[in-house]
Amino acid sequence: MSETQMPTPRTRVVREAHRGVYDRETAYKILDEGFLCHVGFVANGQPFVIPTSYGRKDASLYIHGSAASRMLRQMKEGIPVCVTVTLLDGLVLARSVFNHSMNYRSVVILGKAALVDDPAEKLEALRLLSEHIIPGRWDDARQPNERELKQTSVLRIPIEEFSSKVRIGPPIDDEEDLSFPTWAGVVPLEMKVGTPENDPTLQPGREVPEYVRSYSRG
């Protein structure tokens, strides 16, 4: 699907259409700040929505999991999926309940997942996933062996049919509500990284590495 066909009727933002954004740069920025997605797939007519982590390279999104998981068993059959990433930035308090909102950035990707068979692409996808979540960790950890690679399935989802939705800024109240006697504004929300907690079985002399101490998103 070429870029010029975006959005498709399926990805066009219907509600609050002015918040729909269809360029690749916006989508990639949101995808690269987040690392948790919600994957939707259908089994026996029932939709399932499962949280999982992901990585990205160019126009490919990678997810992984145990070969034993319901999600991966279903999805590797090439069924349609939806991958949604949402970053929550704040509560928007208007004077009227009706105009309350949230500041957020989200991406919705529609497509079909394909099982990554090639061992080199699979290992590279696992590296991308790891480096997407916490850059620097892959080279500092014990990398997957043959047995572990066999137990892991990796799926590739093309980032072809997608849309983003972005809301930023203060509340938008109706003119006649501006004098209503209440506070209005935004309560910012963000992901806070806490102090790293050593594994109780950590051997002496293993210091918290710099890529963990300085970890942040966005």
Question: Applying CB under 8 A, does 195 fall inside the site for a second copy?
Answer: yes
Tell me the closest approach of the beta carbon of residue 106 to a second copy, in angstroms: 6
Q: Could you tell me which of 29, 79, 74 has the C-alpha nearest to residue 56?
A: 29
Distance CA 24, CA 43 (A): 30
Binding a second copy (rule: CB under 8 A), the pick from 66, 119, 168, 218 is 66
Neighbours of 122 (CB within 10 A): 20
Taking CB under 8 A as the binding criterion, the range among 23-31, 54-62, 114-122, 186-194 that sits at the site for a second copy is 186-194
Question: Applying CB under 8 A, does 81 fall inside the site for a second copy?
Answer: yes
Q: Please give the residues from 133 up to 162 whose contact with a second copy meets the rule CB under 8 A.
A: 133-134, 137-138, 140-145, 148, 151-152
Q: Could you tell me which of 146, 17, 27 has the C-alpha nearest to residue 87?
A: 27
Taking CB under 8 A as the binding criterion, the range among 18-26, 55-63, 82-90, 114-122 that sits at the site for a second copy is 82-90
Please identify which residue in the block is written with the tokens 């966005």.
218
Q: Please, which residue, 3 or 206, has the CB nearer to a second copy?
A: 206
* Residue 9, φ and ψ in degrees, nearest 5: -55, -25
